[in-house]
Structure 1
Amino acid sequence: MIGLTGVSRSFTSRSGSTVALQDIGLHITEGEFVAVVGRSGCGKSTLLRLIAGLLPVTEGEITIGGERVTGARRDVAMLFQRSALLPWRSVLDNVLLPVEIFGWNKAKHRDRAYRLLETAGLNGFEKHRPHELSGGMQQRVALCRSLMGEPRVLLMDEPFSALDALTRADLAVELQRIHLENSSTVVFVTHSIDEAVLLADRVVVLTPRPGRIRKIVDIAIPRPRTLGRTEHLGEVARCSADLHELLMERDMSRAVETEGR
């Protein structure tokens, strides 16, 4: 579904060139939920923007459904840290915004908007304005908006990072359910190991800059998942511990260089 082959991205400024990502090779199958974790500055958000076609690659190639990514696509939606809802529009009208932007039939898509809001637990809030909602509810509205066009790919850049821990956990459980119902292919960037384990089929661990794939960890835990006491609590804890150790390791190239001095 999504293929990255030898992907690198550099940025040039007056002070010189910075390699953000280097030689990324990854294949994501249709309907898969992949989380990307790594230290700050390792290129996680840059990776999402490359897949979305918002940035060009410096080297390599990215494909979606066998087609090379050369720019933004209508079948790819992106959700950011902030909900970016329009404050003067109702919840329903915010969700319907892509319909207006792309010139789709509004009457045809209105029923889908209502269904998405119901799925996200927001039925009854259709006429509310964003300021009348909690932060978690606003992010649910933003998620519904991103799903309006039935995207093949949903890219999520730390969408719950501004929320409190309990709200994040609630939304992680909600996102599991919505993903199962909508079957989009999801790439989810997060700093939270717990979120990655709760949500992902696989977790891609990036090294410090330049970001390279250190390891891809399979999360073979039955769904739905929770951090609470269940029969799978031990598996959840083990996967979290494995990811924590990987993220705590020093970058191998830096370690070798230091030892050689």
Structure 2
Amino acid sequence: MITVEGVSQTFRSGKGVVEALADLNLNIHDGECVAVIGRSGCGKSTLLRLIAGLLPPTTGTVAVDGAAVTKPRSDVAMMFQRPALLPWRNVLNNVMLPLEISKERNDEGRRRARDLLELAGLGGFENRLPHELSGGMQQRVALCRALVTEPRVLLMDEPFSALDSLTRIELGEELQRVHMSRKTTIVLVTHSIEEAVLLADRVVVLSSRPGRVRDVVEVKIPRPRELGPSAHLTEVAEASAQLHGLLMAPTPARSAS
């Protein structure tokens, strides 16, 4: 579904040259949820921008569904740390904004938007303005907005980092429910090992700058996953410990498949 082959990314400025990524190889399968973790500055967000077509790689290729990514695609959506809702538009109209941009605002689009709001626990809030919602509810609206065009790929750049820990857990559970019901391919950048284990089918660990794939950890824990009274807390703890060890130890990089 998503193929990253031999990708390096270099940024040049008046202060010199920064090599963000170096010879990075990664395959992400259709319908998978993959988390990307690593130390600050290792190129996690740069990798998302490359997949989104917002940035051309210095070397190497990025492809989605077999086609090289050279510009943003209509079937790839991106969700950022902040919800960035338009304050003068109500919840439903914020969700429907991508449909207006693509000239798909119709009865089918409105039904899809309402269904997503129901799925995200926002039924009955369609006419509320953003300032009338909590931070967690605003981020749920942003998630619905990202999904309303039914993208094949959803890229998420630390979407829950600005929220309190309880709200992060609740939104993680929400994202699992959306992923299980819609089978969207998700690439999630996060600093949280716990979040990666709870949400991802596989976790890609990047080395320090320049970012390379250090290892890929498969998370074989049944869904839905939670931190509360769960039968899988031991497995969650074991996977978290493995990822923590990879982040701390100077292990060699390798390619991922």
| TM-score scaled by length of structure 2 | 0.96
Distance in 2 of aligned mates of 1:231 and 1:130: 37
1:61 is paired with a residue whose SS is: strand
Contact 2:11–2:17 under 8 Å retained in 1: yes
2:96 — aligned with what? 96
Q: Which residue of 2 aligns with 1:26?
A: 26
The answer on whether the counterparts of 1:78 and 1:154 sit within 8 Å (CA) in structure 2 is yes
Alpha-carbon offset, residue 124 of structure 1:
0.5
* Preserved contact between residue 2 and residue 62 of structure 2 (Cα < 8 Å): yes
User: For residues 183 and 177 of structure 2, what CA distance do their matches in structure 1 show?
Assistant: 10
- Of the two, which has the highest radius of gyration? 1
What SS does structure 2 have at the residue aligned with 1:25? strand
- Tell me, in whole angstroms, the C-alpha distance in 2 between the residues paired with 1:146 and 1:14: 36
Q: Corresponding residue for 1:144?
A: 144
Contact 2:96 2:105 in 1 (8 A): no
2:107 is aligned to 107
Q: What secondary structure does 2:30 align onto? A: coil
Return structure 1 stretches of 4+ with deviation > 6 angstroms. Answer: none
Task: Letter of the 1:179 partner, please give it.
Answer: H
Equivalent residue pairs, number: 253
**Cα separation, 2, equivalents of 1:69 and 1:52:** 8
Query: Alpha-carbon deviation of 1:248?
Result: 1.5
**Structure 1 length-normalised TM:** 0.95
What percentage of aligned pairs have identical amino acids? Answer: 64
Q: CA deviation at 1:251?
A: 6.4
Provide structure 2 residue ranges, at least 5 long, that are not aligned to the other structure.
Answer: none
Q: Provide the residue aligned with 1:217 in structure 2.
A: 217
1:159-210 CA-to-partner distances (Å, cap 9, x unmatched) read: 0000000000111011100111111100000000110000000000001100
C-alpha RMSD of matched pairs (Å): 1.1
Structure 1 stretches of 5 or more lacking a match? 254-261
Name the aligned partner's letter for residue 21 of structure 1: L
Distance in 2 (CA, whole Å) between partners of 1:214 and 1:138 is 35
Partner secondary structure for residue 239 of structure 1: helix
Task: Look up the match of 1:199.
Answer: 199
Instruction: Find the aligned partners of 1:65 and 1:252 in 2 and give their Cα distance.
Output: 29
Distance in 2 (CA, whole Å) between partners of 1:178 and 1:79 is 14
